Chains A and B, each alone.
Chain A
Amino acid sequence: MLYFSKLRITFVSLITLFFIFITLTNFQSSENSFISQKINLGLDLQGGSYLLLEIDNGPVEIQKLQNTTTFIRNFLKKKKIVFNDLRIQNKKIIFSVPTNKVDLVENFFLDKESELNPYYNQYKSHQFDLIIDEDKFELTLSKYGLIEIKTSSQDQAIEIVRRRVDEVGTNEPNILKRGNNRILVELPGLDDPMRIKSLLGKTANLTFRFVTQNDNDNFGVDLLKFEDGLNEAMVSKRIILNGDNLLDAQPQMNNQTNETVVSFTLDRVGAKRFGKATSTGIGKQLAIVLDGKIVSAPVVRDTIASGNGQISGDFTFQSATDLALLLRSGALPAPLNIIEERTVGPDLGQDSINAGVIALLIGFLLVIAFMFFKYKIFGLIANVTLLINLFFLVGILTLFEATLTLPGIAGIILTVGMAVDANVLIFERIKEECKNEKNNIIAFDAGYIKSKTAILDANITTLIAAIILFFMGSGPIKGFSVTLAVGIFTTLFSVYFIARMLTSVYVLRNKDKGKLI
């Protein structure tokens, strides 16, 4: 047990040097370093904002049901089936048909190739669950139908969120999916997320619609409020243009009126439609509607065929810039709600790092002083091992580019306190063995062997706790579990390789000196 071959000694020394080197690269600027990996600092240490957004899929579901209702109506009309009472109620589509047509309609819904079941071949599921009660049909979105809506709106939303965050130009944002209806946005270095929050809080659904006076417009009308919240106007449901037709949008100063406006450029289809609408609608008011509110409703004076236009409103330069940004990045498929926000200012982050480092140094010094006092030369061995263990721990965190959080630093300090346990178990065992065994080498060997199960059991229990914490914990706590778990492995390695090697060198040199420990 005590014998270490030259090869092994070289190997262990090389590994140790390697990890010391890796650890030290963290303190070097990345350009002139051999290894590019670095420990990431968590948002709680470098400062920044953490936002958890939830997609409100309600409107998307309603939209889907409305589209499907239109689809069903067209189908029934085409097949000349008389239907009654086709309506949406409590997220259900309800209608009835004559009894002799029930089979026909049922087959229509169950048809795998139908447009109604776009992914039957993939999931083996229909988009709608169907309940037939004699002549009455009831359709609800099936489990997969709902999942499909959620995942597709999440896919679209994350894209838009990414574009908006990128446009603001923050430092290395981290944007991830969480579950099937949430999006996590991490913005390192951002201490005031106000602007981003207000940008993400808007769906930015832009439509151009004519203002009408009579409420029997063919397409139906909406009574909408202006942005100021005071005035209202009746607006046709017919959409002339929407945000999808926009190629570009920029804030601009209108030289004539000295107002800030948002100028936009339309794509070809948009330009054509806009030209047609403005030529037929001269003298009418064209409402520019954003998220259900009228931004402005200018009177059309001329045909605009160029595909360029301006949105005026009560803008400041900032709000015009934001609106232009929102229009450029596109509309969200559904509203986003911020359900969790955590922001740490950069100076608090730095204070936390400083406090953590001081606590680590003091904790380390206290522990090594105590160990030296308790075990003298073997305490020294345990202390050297502990130091190397720290290099291993930080080195591995660096190699895997783990994220270091404040609780993570606490985990490192705790590792310092608990890591000596394995050496203590061994040393205490050796002490016991020395009582009955005069031969130092045999006593030391026995100490290492007999303490093994206790060390293993003790470390596995801590590891179990760390693993559970890793899977159940969030954010900073995950950082704690990672350092704790990695700490267990580095501790075992350093105890069984470094400490044992140092012990063996010492014991083999002094084997005849009587009681060593």
Chain B
Amino acid sequence: MINFNKFYKSFNIISIVLVIFSILLLFFKGLNFGVDFKGGTLIELRASDNKINVTSLRDTFINMNLGDVNIKKFGNEKDFLIKIEKKDTSANAIEIIKKDLTKAIGSSFTFRRVENVGPKVSSELLKSGIIAIALSLAAMLFYIWIRFEWQFSLGAILALFHDVVITMGLFSLFNLEINLSIVAAVLTIVGYSMNDTVVIYDRVRENLRKFSDIKIYELTNISINETLSRTIITSVTTLLALISIYLFGGEILKGFSLAMIMGVVFGTYSSIYIANPILVKLRVSQKTILKEDID
């Protein structure tokens, strides 16, 4: 048996520091929103001419006076991702860019993907993304509140909050792009982290019924250990699937799978080191559970 409970305090401190650091990052550095949420134009360009590179593209785009343009390689040497902040959704905006590009660098390129999002749509998408995440947290809170006692609900939601905030903090720190698929990833993280926490909580509750003489501090440790191999195996299989998406699933899914990988790692950690210490702090005992049973 591993004594997880010995490290409750130290890991809690680390977690608090990480969460505060993440919140500070989110406040002061902010997130790198993609065109989905900020509006603008995104072009994935494939060059069939090796003279085309980031520098030549950058020079060309600067001459087009399109405002802030961000150009980077996308996966390999001949694919480039061009992000234009200017919100021009007029019918021929893309066509003009294509023409100007052809004039400057020849016609040895194709647009593989074009996304053009107007300011109205992007602000709606952002709003619905935030609502979706808030709603999912609320729904989880509610579900756990029905299934368990409020102490568990609080612990689970703090663990969730911890995972989401730190994942977002990392996205801010590494300047990774937030787009629609990241919202999907965050919601899935919420589901996964909850899932992980619930399995341990389920065992804690079962053990609370079984043993009246064991303190919650010990009891959580027993429960974590009993469910530990499941926790590890499921994390490993999920991570194997996610790493496979990250490595082989193509550039478009990279952000999504990376967010999920972070989420699974933090989700697994938090269901041990956030969700359980909260139960200890809230002095959960057999009485907490029995009251529920009588109800």
Contact = CB atoms under 8 A, between A and B. Distances in A.
B230 A425 contact: yes
Most buried by B among A454, A462, A481: A454
Contact of B128 (A352, A410, A454, A472): A472
Interface string A456-476: 011111111110110011111
Contacts of B16: none
A64 B195 CA distance: 56
Interface in A55-92: none
A424 B113 contact: no
Contacts of A343: 111, 113-115
Nearest to B148: A457
B282 interface: no
Given A417-B240, A417-B241, A468 B139 contact: yes
B208 interface: no
Contacts of A355: 248-250, 253
B212 to A, nearest CB: 20
Interface in B191-206: 191-192, 194-196, 198-199, 202-203, 206
B112 A460 contact: no
A268 interface: no
B110 interface: yes
A370 B236 contact: yes
B242 A344 contact: no
B248 A362 contact: yes
Contacts, number: 227
Interface stretch (A112-120, A169-177, A194-202, A211-219): A194-202
Given A197-B92, A425-B230, A472 B239 contact: no
B250 A352 contact: yes
Contacts of A462: 188, 191-192, 194-195
A244 interface: no
Interface residues of B, number: 71
B48 to A, nearest CB: 12
Interface in A341-396: 341-345, 347-348, 351-352, 355-356, 358-360, 362-363, 366-367, 370-371, 374
Contacts of A348: 44, 112-113
Q: Chain A at the B interface: mostly helix, strand, loop or mixed?
A: helix
Given A198-B92, A407-B181, A465-B191, A345 B199 contact: no
Given A344-B113, A465-B136, A366 B125 contact: no
A341 B89 contact: yes
B252 A406 contact: yes
Contacts of A370: 233, 236-237, 240
A418 interface: yes
B115 A342 contact: yes
A458 to B, nearest CB: 4
Contacts of B248: 355, 358-359, 362
Given A464-B191, A469-B184, A194 B95 contact: yes
A363 B240 contact: yes
Given A418-B192, A457-B198, 15 more contacts: A338-B118, A340-B89, A341-B117, A356-B249, A359-B250, A362-B248, A367-B241, A370-B240, A410-B253, A414-B241, A454-B198, A464-B140, A469-B136, A472-B131, A480-B181
6 closest residue pairs by CB, A with B: A417-B241, A465-B191, A363-B244, A355-B250, A472-B132, A201-B91
27 contacts: A198-B92, A338-B89, A339-B120, A339-B121, A340-B116, A340-B121, A341-B89, A341-B115, A345-B112, A348-B113, A352-B252, A355-B248, A360-B244, A363-B245, A366-B240, A370-B240, A407-B181, A416-B241, A420-B234, A424-B233, A458-B196, A458-B199, A465-B140, A469-B184, A473-B132, A473-B180, A475-B180
